[in-house]
């Protein structure tokens, strides 16, 4: 009998994952990950880890499976939280959920599961894994979840073939209403529980409070740049990948000072909330940040050209191919689809592999291309690679 350790988060998805695996005849163990001790920055009652742990334990008892909690807070701080602070300080916007899957769930947690004799680890992700054969060797495809509204393959975009070989996603073939129906029929305590939001296994965090633990407030200027500014009139040739993938060259002379902020590292491209500036014809959006000069650049309205770009660049060191056999070689081009954030519809694009990294040029301009975030590219419903956006 194959043994599976399920990451029970205290939510309905992982609860049903455990239930389904037990029904399929696996030897199932439930394990709750505690990744955070500091409740001062969490928004109360949104996702307290203690309640989640209790819910996970209740589900395990109901299913008659062994249960234990594992404290990974030190590892989480080192690999996720410290990384987040460093990225924000540098004016980049990290994605901790993707890092949590790569560094915690499918690394440290996976290793802990293996020590318990596990053949697999399972989570409640809405994604699918398919085993195939390439040159008489096993390979694994990471596929989108069946529920288009819940597909979470993007969050798994940094997994390796080794990690996928040990991963199971039991709810990936189901729609969310089906998962809730199964939970209700099975009498699981989490059947009606709301989905949690926020940082992976921490809960909903008030980000400014979180960042202010280490990143001091620092008054700076907010500059509004007109949509008609020559900065946005680039006219680059189609094959000028470097310029197409570069952010707009904004400087204090690009616009007018319209207010103050408390620190450029608290803001991200595309952000609207938190500027606290009124009296404009249309809402202001962040179109650029400069953490060295502590300046925020803004533009008026959803359709401001500063919010949109056609290209991005991923350095070679930050490229990751889930399917190594599909990796592009220097000089190769591939037409495919990509997304730059969770739940964004897949957008047509062309991958250009160069010696220094990967250029992604989209068929249509994309809103809010943000350094530090992950771009993930797909072949149909299969996620084949991803990388950290440099610019």
Residue 284 has pLDDT above 70, yes or no: yes
pLDDT score for 201: 46
User: 367: how many CB neighbours lie within 10 A of its CB?
Assistant: 17
Residue 275 has what pLDDT?
85
Q: What percent of the chain shows pLDDT beyond 70?
A: 93
| Structure tokens belonging to residue 238 | 């189609």
Report the chain's C-alpha Rg in angstroms: 22
Contact between 6 and 23 under an 8 Å Cβ cutoff? The reply is no
As annotated, the active-site residues are 100, 200
Residue with more model confidence, 391 or 185: 185
Measured in whole angstroms, the distance separating CA 52 from the mean position of its chain's CA atoms is 21
Average pLDDT of every residue of the chain: 91
Q: What are 272's two structure tokens?
A: 């609207």
End-to-end CA, the chain = 48
Cβ neighbour number for residue 182 with a 10 Å cutoff: 19
Which position has the token pair 């220097």? 330
pLDDT tens across 86-107, in order?
Answer: 888 888 888 989 999 999 999 9
Q: How far apart are CA 268 and CA 275, in angstroms?
A: 11
């Amino acid at each position: 009998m194959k043994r599976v350790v399920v990451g029970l988060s205290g939510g309905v998805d992982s609860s049903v994952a455990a239930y389904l695996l037990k029904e399929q005849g696996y030897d199932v163990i439930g394990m709750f990950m505690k990744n955070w001790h500091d409740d001062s920055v969490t928004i109360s009652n949104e996702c307290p880890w203690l309640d989640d742990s209790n819910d996970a334990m209740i589900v395990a008892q109901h299913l008659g499976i062994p249960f234990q909690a594992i404290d990974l807070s030190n590892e989480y701080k080192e690999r996720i939280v410290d990384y987040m602070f460093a990225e924000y300080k540098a004016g980049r916007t990290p994605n901790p959920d993707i890092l949590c899957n790569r560094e915690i769930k499918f690394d440290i947690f996976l290793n802990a599961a293996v020590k318990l004799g596990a053949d697999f680890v399972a989570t409640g992700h809405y994604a699918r894994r398919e085993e195939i054969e390439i040159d008489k060797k096993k390979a694994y495809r990471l596929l989108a979840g069946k529920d288009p509204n819940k597909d979470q393959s993007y969050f798994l975009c940094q997994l390796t073939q080794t990690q996928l070989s040990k991963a199971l996603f039991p709810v990936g073939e189901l729609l969310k209403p089906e998962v809730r129906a199964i939970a209700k029929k099975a009498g699981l305590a989490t059947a009606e529980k709301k989905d949690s939001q926020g940082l992976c296994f921490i809960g909903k965090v008030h980000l400014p409070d979180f960042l202010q633990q280490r990143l001091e407030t620092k008054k700076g200027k907010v500059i509004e740049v007109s949509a008609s500014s020559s900065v946005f009139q680039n006219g680059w040739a189609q094959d000028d990948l470097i310029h197409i993938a570069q952010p707009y060259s904004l400087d204090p002379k690009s616009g007018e000072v319209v207010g103050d902020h408390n620190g450029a590292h608290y803001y991200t491209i595309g952000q609207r909330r938190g500027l606290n500036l009124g009296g404009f014809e249309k809402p202001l959006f962040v179109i650029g940040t400069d953490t060295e000069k502590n300046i925020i650049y803004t533009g008026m309205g959803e359709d401001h050209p500063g919010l949109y770009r056609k290209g991005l660049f991923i350095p070679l060191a930050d490229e990751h191919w889930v399917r190594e056999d599909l990796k592009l070689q220097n000089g190769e081009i591939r037409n495919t689809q990509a997304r730059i954030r969770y739940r964004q519809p897949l957008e047509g694009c062309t991958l250009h592999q160069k010696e220094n990294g990967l250029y992604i040029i989209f068929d249509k301009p994309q809103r809010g291309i943000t350094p530090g975030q992950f771009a993930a590219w797909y072949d149909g419903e299969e996620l084949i690679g991803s990388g950290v956006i440099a610019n």
